[in-house]
A and B are shown apart, each in its own frame.
Chain A
Amino acid sequence: MASLAEVASAAPANAGAAARRRVLTGRLLSYAALLIAVILVLFPIYWMLATSLKLPRDILRVPSLWPSRFSLANFEKLLADGQFLLSIRNSFIVASTVTVISVIISSFAAYSMVRFRYRFRGIIGRLILFAYLTPGSLLFIPLSIVMAQLKLGNSLTGLILVYLTFSLPLSTWLLQGYFRGVPRELEEQGMIDGLTRFGALLRITLPLSAPGLAAVAIFTFTGAWNELLFALVLTTSESVRTAPLALNYLITSDVLPWGPLMAGAAISSVPLMILYFVAQRFMVAGMTEGSVKG
């Protein structure tokens, strides 16, 4: 880095060796610090997996860092009655539907905001940003009343509708940034070649923003997969529970069933971990451009 250049330019041989040693020590210290940070980051994840693979009776009686006997008993117990699988399925339905709806209509909105100039555009932009920052803790009470009035309480449809409150503003906000990067000349060229405006949006702008659409889709899916508060307030029956809810009700029982709890945690992480590894680049870019909460 800079210090190397500085050293190479002026220093005599002796000082050069000392500086090189200093750089080397600096590197070693950096690696040591990073290694400690990584261990601290990984330990809880390790603990989740290790606990989920321990024999249920060993978890309390034989506390150990490493499972003395590996067992899938916790997974079997969790999955035995099918309720947890049902909640995973519900989570999939809700998260995918929210993602599809959200990406489609927010890409239309973002396109309109970026490509056209009209009255209220500034106000709409602000409205979207305000909506993005409005906390769910303020909205969950009135939304539960509204959903009850719409007869959508305790239903996956209600959850989907409510999850749009955080996914739409975020998607629209992020997509505006991506669409701005698409040169409008390309669209105009397409329109001269006979595309309609809408055709230009579908055939030119959207394909060119594919990484942005992917990032937005992943964020939406993640947000819906993670959501607990609305789900807690809006649903009552077991048949419409999402994955976070199913695990929440495991901890509100008298005795914490740690093994199955960690098995459920591990299973619930799988879809997001897959998304993370497949699309890490998009996610990091999207996160830094649009300031996205996890």
Chain B
Amino acid sequence: MTISDAGPPRRRLGSGLKLKLFAYALVAPVVLLILGLVAYPFFFAIWVSFTDMVIGSAGNFVGFKNFEYLAGTATFWAAIRNTIVIVLVSDALKLVIGLGLALLVHQNLPGRGLFRSFLMLPWAMPAFVAFLTWRVLYQPIGGGINLILNQTGLYTGTVDWLGTRNTAMASVIIASVWRGFPFWFISILAALQSVPKELYEAAIVDGANTWQRFWNVTIPSILPVIIVTTLLSSIWTANGFEHVWLLTAGGPSDATMVFPVLAYFGMQTQRIGEAAAVSVYMLPVLAILVLFATSLMMRREE
């Protein structure tokens, strides 16, 4: 923290105590709302996951019963596997696509501003609109994807993209990448623009070719941004509800089931304790990601 952040108390601007009270008064509403609407529900969720609570009853402490029950269901294991697959594959694709497009747009090409605007469009659409549109695109009859495949002669059959076990997951991931890559694209583009030109000039003097400059200058310079983006994007992807809910609702037969959708189903069956346990199961991994992201973001802020 720098000194200009918060200078020494100045007498003429009011007494120290008054100033302190003022400072606390300004921050109090946000702190109280966060404590009441985030921190309390957070710990409450953990408590609920250890009870047999159903809608309309307070519930009793049952220890790890919910967790054991869940671990005995196939759906739970499907959710683990699918959540991991979706996070790894879709974020890897978003990274590659986002980085590639950012490098292309970063060149001194005429019209690059226009390309940037167009490439940002998926992100400017509401998420629910994006995924509903993909749902319609994937329809076996009248959907745009089959139509394109048929008309170009690439494939002549009719595929029920979301309704077939083999294709459902890939279909969810493609839609999720389509909607999510602009975040990577724009973060990386901003990072590229802030790499000092002198580094490249020095590398050229040292005789580095394009590929060497990319590996030894570009990548190290944008690595911090890539790491933060990876952490944030993984957290959001792992907790994303809309992409799966609106496309497949976890089906067909759990092929795309993920944690948030499973928790929502638990909620619908009114067994709140179990539903809460689903979310709490994600907590350890999530906590690690969040802690990493928090410390990186705090450090960058300073």
Same assembly? yes
Q: Which B residue's beta carbon lies closest to that of A180? A: B5
Contacts of A40 in B (CB 8 A): 178
Q: How far is the CB of A92 from chain B (nearest CB, A)?
A: 13
B252 contacts the other chain (Cβ, under 8 Å)? no
Contacts of B74 in A (CB 8 A): none
B170 contacts the other chain (Cβ, under 8 Å)? no
**Contact, CB under 8 Å: A146 / B26:** no
**Contact, CB under 8 Å: B136 / A47:** yes
**Contact, CB under 8 Å: B132 / A137:** no
**Cβ-neighbour of A244 out of B126, B210, B267, B294 (below 8 A):** B126
Complexed CA–CA distance, A256 and B249 (Å): 14
Q: How far is the CB of A226 from chain B (nearest CB, A)?
A: 5
Given A127-B39, A139-B38, A251-B132, A172 contacting B141 (CB threshold 8 A): no
Interface residues in A1-60 (C-beta closer than 8 Å to B): 1-3, 5-6, 27, 30-31, 33-34, 37-38, 40-45, 47-48, 51, 59-60
**B273-299 interface code vs A (CB 8 A; 1 in, 0 out):** 001100110110010001001100110
Q: Which B residue's beta carbon lies closest to that of A166? A: B38
Interface residues in A105-147 (C-beta closer than 8 Å to B): 105-106, 108-109, 111-118, 124-131, 133-146
Given A44-B134, A133-B293, A138 contacting B42 (CB threshold 8 A): yes
**Contact, CB under 8 Å: B142 / A63:** yes
Q: How many of chain A's residues touch chain B, expressed as a range?
A: 35 or more
A272 contacts the other chain (Cβ, under 8 Å)? yes
Contacts of A108 in B (CB 8 A): 26-27, 29-30
B182 contacts the other chain (Cβ, under 8 Å)? yes
**Contact, CB under 8 Å: A45 / B121:** yes
A293 contacts the other chain (Cβ, under 8 Å)? yes
**Contact, CB under 8 Å: B109 / A27:** yes
Q: Which A residue's beta carbon lies closest to that of B47? A: A142
Complexed CA–CA distance, A113 and B35 (Å): 17
**Cβ-neighbour of A145 out of B44, B142, B279, B293 (below 8 A):** B44
Contacts of A225 in B (CB 8 A): 126
**Contact, CB under 8 Å: A34 / B101:** yes
For B, the interface residue count at a CB cutoff of 8 angstroms equals 107
Q: Which A residue's beta carbon lies closest to that of B247? A: A251
**Cβ-neighbour of A134 out of B42, B104, B200 (below 8 A):** B42
**Contact, CB under 8 Å: A168 / B5:** no
**Contact, CB under 8 Å: A142 / B42:** yes
Interface residues in A183-218 (C-beta closer than 8 Å to B): 184, 188, 191, 197-198
Q: Which A residue's beta carbon lies closest to that of B113? A: A280
**Contact, CB under 8 Å: B129 / A265:** yes
- 29 residue pairs of the A-B complex, CB under 8 angstroms, read A1-B107, A30-B109, A37-B101, A38-B115, A40-B178, A48-B136, A108-B27, A114-B5, A129-B294, A133-B293, A134-B38, A138-B282, A139-B45, A141-B45, A141-B267, A165-B37, A177-B301, A191-B13, A226-B127, A228-B127, A229-B242, A248-B128, A248-B245, A251-B132, A265-B128, A280-B120, A291-B228, A293-B183, A294-B180
Residues in A lying within 8 Å of B, measured CB to CB: 1-3, 5-6, 27, 30-31, 33-34, 37-38, 40-45, 47-48, 51, 59-60, 63-65, 105-106, 108-109, 111-118, 124-131, 133-146, 161-162, 164-165, 168-169, 172, 176-177, 180, 184, 188, 191, 197-198, 222, 225-226, 228-229, 232-233, 243-244, 247-248, 251, 256, 258, 261-262, 265-266, 268-269, 272-273, 275-276, 280, 283-284, 287-288, 291, 293-294
Residues in B lying within 8 Å of A, measured CB to CB: 4-7, 13-14, 19-20, 22-24, 26-27, 29-31, 33-35, 37-42, 44-45, 48, 97, 100-101, 104-105, 107-109, 115, 117-130, 132-137, 139, 141-142, 144, 147-148, 151, 178-180, 182-183, 186-187, 190, 200-201, 204, 210, 213, 228-229, 232, 235-236, 238-239, 241-242, 245-246, 259-260, 263-264, 267, 272, 275-276, 279-280, 282-283, 286, 290, 293-294, 297-298, 301
Closest 10 CB pairs of A and B: A117-B6, A135-B239, A142-B41, A116-B23, A137-B260, A288-B190, A112-B26, A276-B124, A109-B30, A244-B128
